[in-house]
Structure 1
């Protein structure tokens, strides 16, 4: 028997995978993102807040704005571009189509890979909320060709995501290989030296 939530996610992912170019992908992501209710966005924001609050205080204060920008800053830019008609004019090809399709294949399992029982009120969290994260990352990495984590985002040890010329560098880019559902495995950034 198929989980109806997984089936819905697989249907959305099939739609993403069918995008012919960046403009189509941006449009599809924006249309799916607009289906999230204000309550769902509040749940996602609340979950992000809880994840940040679990971090050590000295790191939490440095990283808070970057996590919010990664999710809700990208959300704002995505919808602004969609509403302005930007994506209708964009026919640029998706960077590395095979990597993009691999990303799409990972999403359904990635959405289901989490144990939500450890969170307060796990009954209001669902794989659909995790999908929001993957949709935003798809937009950021495959439409905008930006790293999954914003430039300047600090990591433990003091290194940050950097832009050098036209290239991006991340200190954790190649550190997540064993975590199949990590966006780092699909990021356009290079590993920091």
Structure 2
């Protein structure tokens, strides 16, 4: 079955989760299907994206991008292996946004021109799916912003937590990019 069809099936499976625990189990089962080689490709791609950023910004943002992807990956698997998700019956907040997110995933995975990257033959939509699965864990199970607190953006602004609210300087700036996780993020637009 072509990668795009598998991604559609996975997105539908995600959308059928009735609570956070069930969603955590589904995401974990899908994440566990990634090989060590695929994780290396994903990490290599992340490093290439960071390397393309201007200095000194790339040095400041690198640990946050790694935390966003691989920190969340390790936390997801820790919770899965400890049995946390089996006991997590909380409802998914903003279910309509969650369903929209699931519907966006298949097209979001194929919206990029991968031929401009070094070694495009080893990169495929499944690798982008990893990013969306991890973001789903962060935003819809953990109820945290897609970008970790402290993530710096050009201009000196950062993702912040004030009380129970998360504030992001770019939250509402990605509206025209349908596949951006910002459109589904629980953070609120900060008042710059």
Question: Is this a same-fold pair by TM over 0.5?
Answer: yes
SS in 2 for 1:57: coil
Aligned-partner Cα distance in 1 for 2:170–2:24: 26
Match of 2:16 among 6, 18, 21: 18
Q: Which residue of 2 aligns with 1:156?
A: 154
TM-score by length of 2: 0.99
Using the TM superposition, give the Cα deviation of residue 71 of structure 1 relative to its aligned residue in structure 2, in angstroms: 0.1
Map 1:35-184; keep pairs closer than 5 Å.
35-184=33-182
SS in 2 for 1:148: coil
Using the TM superposition, give the Cα deviation of residue 45 of structure 1 relative to its aligned residue in structure 2, in angstroms: 0.1
Gapped regions of structure 2 (runs ≥ 5): none
Using the TM superposition, give the Cα deviation of residue 94 of structure 1 relative to its aligned residue in structure 2, in angstroms: 0.1
Using the TM superposition, give the Cα deviation of residue 132 of structure 1 relative to its aligned residue in structure 2, in angstroms: 0.2
TM-score by length of 1: 0.98
Using the TM superposition, give the Cα deviation of residue 5 of structure 1 relative to its aligned residue in structure 2, in angstroms: 1.2
What is the count of residue pairs matched by the alignment? 191
Q: Which residue of 2 aligns with 1:33?
A: 31
Using the TM superposition, give the Cα deviation of residue 57 of structure 1 relative to its aligned residue in structure 2, in angstroms: 1.3
Q: Determine if the alignment matches structure 1 residue 190 to structure 2 residue 191.
A: no
Aligned-partner Cα distance in 2 for 1:72–1:7: 26
Gapped regions of structure 1 (runs ≥ 5): none
- Provide the aligned C-alpha RMSD in A: 0.6
CA displacement 1:146-192 (0-9 Å, x = unmatched): 00000000000000000000000000000000000000000000000
Aligned-partner Cα distance in 2 for 1:68–1:168: 20
